C-alpha cells in the first residue's frame, strides 16, 4: 500500500488565490519523494492538506491508509511533520520539548523517557539535551525539529523546506542526516524544496510543481535524461527576444527561451555549437557579453516543462502564516 496518495487536489483561498489547482502523486513506503518548485508554487499548501491543517476544495488524499477528510486523527497518529518555521519552545530545554511532544502524542508513560533518550542520541543532541533551545545553533534547532517529529515513531514524515535559511555546511550535514533517516528507519518521506541540488541529492523520485500543478514526475536521473541537448546561456547587450528568434532558426537548436538579458538555448553538441551561435548573433548586430555551457540539470528540466526558470525568495515562506501563497516565478 502506498504511504501517501494525493489525487487531483485543489485549494483556493478566500481572496481568490488558487494555491493548488491539480496535484496528483503517490509515495511508496521507504521512499523520499520531493515536491520541487519556487515559493508560491503550491508545495506547502499541498503538505498542509495532507497534514490535515487545511481542507482541500477538491480531490482526495490518504496518508498511511487514512483519508485526510474522513479520518484526520488517524493521519496525525501516523504522521511526523517538520514545518518551515520551527515550533520548538526556545525557553525550554531540548529534553523538555521532546518529553512534552511525547505526551501530546500519547506515548505510553513508561516509554517516554526511553523514546526521548533514543531520539536525542539519533539526532546527536544528547550532550545538549539539558540546555535551553535558545542557545542552540540553527542546525541544532533543525535537528531538534526532526527529533520532535520522530519521537512518536510515525510511519510517514513531512519535511517542508527543512534547510531554508541554513548555511551551506549545515545544509550538507542535515542532508546526511536525512539519508541516514531513510536508510535506518525506512520511513516514507515527503520533502518540499526549492533547492535544485537538494532535490537531486536526496529524492528517489520527485514531482515538479508549477503554479499549483504537477507538470512532470520521475527520478532525477529520468527527468534529466528526458531533456535532450546541452544548455547554452548567452548574455546579450540588447534585444534578447530578437536574439532568441535568430537562434531558433538554426538546425541544431532545439529550444530557445529569453530570460531577462539572457538567452537560454538547448542545443545538440553544445561545445561545438557555441561559435556558430555567437557568430549568428553578431551578424544580426546583437553583441554577446558572455557564454556558459552546462549539461542537463534539474534547472533545465524545470525550464523545459514550464517555459521559465525557477527563482526563489528565502524570505517569503510558501503559504505559512498568511493563509495564502505568493506567486514567484520568471515568465
Fold classified for 228-295: Alpha-Beta Plaits (3.30.70)
**Per-residue confidence (pLDDT) for residue 304, from 0 to 100:** 80
**Per-residue confidence (pLDDT) for residue 225, from 0 to 100:** 85
Q: What is the DSSP string of 89-106?
A: -TTSBHHHHHHHHHHHTT
Q: For the residues 132-158, what does the mean pLDDT come to?
A: 95
As a residue count, the chain comes to 331
Residue whose grid cell is 538579458: 261
Q: Percentage of residues in the chain with pLDDT exceeding 90?
A: 67
**Per-residue confidence (pLDDT) for residue 327, from 0 to 100:** 29
Where residue 185 falls among pLDDT bands split at 50, 70, 90? Answer: confident
Whole-angstrom distance, CA of residue 258 vs CA of residue 189 = 36
Helices and strands, number each (H, E), in the chain: 11, 14
Domain ranges of the chain: 4-224, 228-295
**Per-residue confidence (pLDDT) for residue 215, from 0 to 100:** 93
Where residue 311 falls among pLDDT bands split at 50, 70, 90? Answer: low
Whole-angstrom distance, CA of residue 158 vs CA of residue 84 = 10
**Inter-CA distances, 121 with 108, 135, 279, Å:** 20, 19, 61
Q: CATH for 4-224, among 3.40.50.300, 2.170.190.11, 3.40.50.720, 2.120.10.30?
A: 3.40.50.300
Whole-angstrom distance, CA of residue 120 vs CA of residue 98 = 9
Strands of 13-106 (E only): list them: 18-27, 32-36, 58-63, 66-67, 79-82
Neighbours of 279 (CB within 10 A): 11
**Per-residue confidence (pLDDT) for residue 284, from 0 to 100:** 93
Is pTM beyond 0.85? Reply is no
**Per-residue confidence (pLDDT) for residue 312, from 0 to 100:** 54
Please check whether residue 151 is in contact with residue 105, taking contact to mean a CB–CB distance below 8 angstroms. yes
**Per-residue confidence (pLDDT) for residue 118, from 0 to 100:** 95
**Per-residue confidence (pLDDT) for residue 269, from 0 to 100:** 86
Q: For the residues 248-273, what does the mean pLDDT come to?
A: 90
Please check whether residue 37 is in contact with residue 44, taking contact to mean a CB–CB distance below 8 angstroms. no
Please check whether residue 290 is in contact with residue 54, taking contact to mean a CB–CB distance below 8 angstroms. no
Amino acid at each position: 500500500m502506498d504511504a501517501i496518495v494525493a489525487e487531483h487536489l485543489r485549494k483556493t483561498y478566500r481572496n481568490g488565490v488558487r494555491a493548488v489547482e491539480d496535484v496528483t502523486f503517490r509515495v511508496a513506503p521507504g521512499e523520499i519523494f520531493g515536491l520541487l518548485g519556487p515559493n508560491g508554487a503550491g508545495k506547502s499548501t499541498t503538505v498542509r492538506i495532507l497534514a490535515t491543517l487545511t481542507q482541500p476544495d477538491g480531490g482526495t488524499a490518504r496518508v498511511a491508509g487514512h483519508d485526510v477528510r474522513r479520518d484526520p486523527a488517524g493521519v496525525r497518529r501516523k504522521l511526523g511533520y517538520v514545518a518551515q518555521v520551527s515550533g520548538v519552545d526556545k525557553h525550554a530545554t531540548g529534553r523538555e520539548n521532546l518529553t512534552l511532544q511525547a505526551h501530546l502524542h500519547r506515548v505510553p508513560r513508561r516509554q517516554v523517557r526511553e523514546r526521548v533518550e533514543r531520539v536525542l542520541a539519533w539526532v546527536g543532541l544528547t550532550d545538549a539535551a539539558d540546555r535551553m533551545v535558545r542557545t542552540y545553533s540553527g542546525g541544532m534547532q533543525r535537528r531538534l525539529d526532526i527529533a520532535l517529529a520522530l519521537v512518536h515513531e510515525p510511519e510517514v514524515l513531512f519535511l517542508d523546506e527543512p534547510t531554508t535559511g541554513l548555511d551551506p555546511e549545515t545544509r550538507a550535514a542535515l542532508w546526511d542526516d536525512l539519508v541516514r533517516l531513510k536508510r535506518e528507519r525506512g520511513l516514507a518521506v515527503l520533502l518540499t524544496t526549492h533547492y535544485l541540488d537538494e532535490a537531486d541529492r536526496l529524492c528517489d523520485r520527485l514531482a515538479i510543481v508549477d503554479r499549483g500543478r504537477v507538470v512532470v514526475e520521475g527520478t532525477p536521473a529520468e527527468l534529466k535524461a528526458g531533456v535532450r541537448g546541452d544548455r547554452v546561456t548567452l548574455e546579450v547587450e540588447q534585444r534578447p527576444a530578437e536574439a532568441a528568434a535568430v537562434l531558433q532558426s538554426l538546425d541544431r537548436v532545439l529550444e530557445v527561451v529569453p530570460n531577462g538579458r539572457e538567452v537560454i538555448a538547448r542545443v545538440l553538441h553544445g561545445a561545438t555549437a557555441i561559435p556558430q551561435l555567437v557568430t549568428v548573433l553578431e551578424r544580426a548586430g546583437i553583441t554577446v557579453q558572455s557564454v556558459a555551457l552546462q549539461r542537463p540539470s534539474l534547472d533545465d528540466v524545470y525550464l523545459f516543462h514550464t517555459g521559465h526558470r525557477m527563482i526563489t525568495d528565502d524570505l517569503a515562506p510558501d503559504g505559512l502564516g498568511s493563509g495564502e501563497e505568493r506567486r514567484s516565478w520568471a515568465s
